[in-house]
Chains A and B, each alone.
Chain A
Amino acid sequence: MKSYLMGAISGIAVVAATAAIAEPQAEVLHYWTSGGEAKSVAVLQEEFAANGGTWTDMPVAGGGGDAAMTALRARVLSGNAPTAVQLKGPAIQEWYEEGVLADISAVAEANGWADVLPDSIAGHMKCEGTWCAAPVNVHRVDWIWANAEVLKSNGIAMPTSWDEFNAAATKLQAAGIIPLAHGGQAWQDATVFEAVALGILGPDGFRKAFVDLDEATLTSDAMVAVFDQMRTMRGFVDPNFSGRDWNLATAMVMNGEAAFQIMGDWAKGEFMAAGKVPGKDFLCASTPGDGFLYNVDSFAMFDVDGDDKKAGQALLAKLVVGKNFQKVFNLNKGSIPARTDVPLDEFDSCALLSASDMAASSDNGSLLPSYAHGMALRGAQAGAITDVVTAHFNSDMSSADAVKQLAQAVANSM
């Protein structure tokens, strides 16, 4: 009797233990800590819990992700990596080369990711052919935002070439309006620069310059023209722009103090939060020229031990690319879904434009990674380019000198 009882108890214990193993666990390191972003992550947490998983949140705020990367480094060096980490672009490959990323091809193939993700975006999620990361959203970087009222009262249409932009800006300046709302921080200078570069170099030239780092393109006459246009743009910002945060520049467009802003679609969130209506109060358009610069947030999956953690990783990957999360998250964040088969009924007109442009540019090969937002190049090279861009924009350096420095800086960063 006694031994029978013991056997029953140990049997229950075994059942309980297997149940515990099967329960998916995920520790997620991310830096979505501000209001709207935190809300977006909460959606994923709830969905994860609803599927029987236990989510350990590890938000690290500060430094635009720098603090999170420092935390990640410490965790990886101590041999205790989190399940999933908010990483993007070439940083994923950089971590893969350290040999710490997991293979989630099974999940990707079971859910047909290859069919629903644009090729160039899927390319970032693969490490030597195996899937190692899951995309969350697509931010478009090459947007130009405008105050509808200001444009109308000055008889100006959304510019479709940089010459038109310059003409419109000169006219606005004469009317006493700041043509371009801009914040003088290095990454904002780089954001404007890459929009100008895409317009002037064209998609192929952009790819050669900022993806392949082709020296001939970096030192070409077209690149001199890009810096010339940047010098012209410098004349269109107010004298007080240094160090201004991007959302304050957006506010200047909102209240009619300034006419245009060149910024990624997170600026739309600011307009929306202030109760402005796209198409009526503010206008959105791609910056002059062809192509689409994307900034894709993703979760990289790290090698973890234990079946519960592996199960958690698989569940997380499946949910992140799932239709429901892609819709809800991107409605909250102002970006568009990375997968192309999500119904867009609830999205605003700017997001619809972004989605149709993404599909079109994916077909003709002009869907390109943003260099200014760490999608095209590794940190050292992107930083070296930004140093030159911001030094040129904030001084009286000539375009020819800037191009020379650009080639040197890129060579030096290798």
Chain B
Amino acid sequence: MTKWLEENTPKLVLAPSFVAILVFVYGFIAWTAWVSLTRSRLLPKYEIKGFIQYERLFDSPRWDTAFSNLFVFGFLFIAIAMILGLVLAILLDQNIRTEGAIRTIYLYPMALSMIVTGTAWKWILNPGLGLEALVRGWGFPDFTFDWLVNPDMAIYTIVIAAIWQSSGFVMALFLAGLRSVDQEIIKAAQVDGIPTWRVYTAIIIPSMAPIFLSAFIVLSHLAIKSFDLVIALTGGGPGYATDLPATYMYAMAFSRGDIGQAASSAMIMMMVVFAIVVPYLYSELRSKNG
């Protein structure tokens, strides 16, 4: 009996959460997939009608905008936040005196919710209230910074606000990575007279590959599920110029009573996530087993 318990306690303890995840994550993914193949409107229906919702989705100019915004936003956000985070981390790594204070300041935006970030940036970027009005008030009447109200540029304001929010966090990740590099190797390189920038590019950064990967995974899921930032900053506007798949899905499911359409957009979003996460999981699992 005791032996049986010893062997099976871990399984017993894990079983409830295993079942919960099975039902509430995978179960509902399957449910959404099912609904995305139906003509569900206000309430879900279960009669399968084929890929009509996906055809509607890819015929919709609004979804086109939302989907391409995801790539513009995702690429710029991830790339700039990682570069900025790395640069900040390297600068902080120079044994400066006030490191603790500066690190805290850069990390603070992470403590704010996206809604607060979005609202604050909405005011900062509003041409009549914020930056543009301020600089014009200083005596530059031709200064124009109207990205927030310009449908072609508005998506970049979301990139700016998201980078402001997250680059401090990326910096903290990288800083931890920089500190974990074996000091002996660095000292050896310094003894050999190798310039500092070469130490970084040839030794430290390559040895931080796992950190890059985790930062990338964290940032990319932030990008794909971005919703509150858009709602607070632009509300999807001007027009629907800053719609993202998540806001599109919300509008279809909750404002328009078009659940089938919402489900199909959710499935596409999930496929994008899988396209990023599956290769990562594969490489992780392979390196562990091998």
Q: Which A positions have Cβ atoms within 8 angstroms of B?
A: 63, 66-67, 69-70, 73, 76-77, 91, 94-95, 98, 184-186, 189, 238-243, 378-380, 382-383, 387, 390-395, 405, 408-409, 412-413
Contacts and interface: CB of A to CB of B under 8 A. Distances in A.
Contact of A412 (B59, B154, B236): B59
6 contacts: A63-B255, A67-B254, A240-B149, A242-B238, A380-B256, A394-B239
Contacts of A63: 254-255
Contacts of A185: 235, 237
B261 interface: yes
B231 to A, nearest CB: 10
Nearest to B243: A387
B1 to A, nearest CB: 43
B251 A94 contact: no
User: Among the interface residues A70, A73, A242, A382, which one has the most CB atoms of the partner chain B within 10 A?
Assistant: A242
In terms of DSSP, what is the predominant structure of the interface of chain A? helix
A380 B239 CA distance: 17
A243 B240 CA distance: 11
B43 A412 contact: no
A370 B154 CA distance: 30
B183 interface: no
A136 to B, nearest CB: 21
Contacts of B50: none
Nearest to A100: B43
B241 A412 contact: no
B59 A240 contact: no
Interface of B: 41-43, 56, 59-62, 122, 126-128, 146, 148-149, 151, 154, 234-241, 251, 254-258, 261
Contact of B42 (A95, A189, A382): A95
B42 A98 contact: yes
Contacts of B241: 394-395
A91 B59 CA distance: 25
Contacts of B42: 73, 94-95, 98
B255 A379 contact: yes
B237 A184 contact: yes
In terms of DSSP, what is the predominant structure of the interface of chain B? loop
Contacts of A379: 255-258
B255 A66 contact: yes
B235 A395 contact: no
B255 A395 contact: no
Nearest to B62: A387
B149 A391 contact: no
Contact of A408 (B59, B237, B238): B59
B122 to A, nearest CB: 7
A66 B254 contact: yes
B237 A243 contact: yes
Contacts of B236: 186
A186 B122 CA distance: 17
A73 B259 CA distance: 12
B115 to A, nearest CB: 13
A390 B237 contact: yes
Contact of A186 (B126, B146, B154, B239): B239
A36 to B, nearest CB: 24
Contacts of B154: 242
A186 B240 contact: yes
Nearest to B60: A412
Nearest to B57: A412
Nearest to B238: A394
A186 B237 contact: yes
Given A98-B42, A243-B234, A391 B61 contact: yes
Nearest to A393: B239
Nearest to A189: B239
Contacts of B146: 239
Contacts of A70: 254
A68 to B, nearest CB: 10
Given A239-B149, A412-B56, A380 B261 contact: yes
Nearest to B127: A240
A95 B59 CA distance: 28
Contacts of B59: 408, 412
Given A240-B126, A379-B257, A76 B43 contact: yes
Given A66-B255, A242-B149, A383-B251, A184 B41 contact: no
Given A240-B149, A379-B258, A380-B261, 4 more contacts: A66-B255, A380-B257, A383-B258, A412-B60
B239 A243 contact: no
A55 to B, nearest CB: 27
Given A408-B59, A412-B56, A94 B255 contact: no
A395 B149 contact: no
A186 B256 CA distance: 13
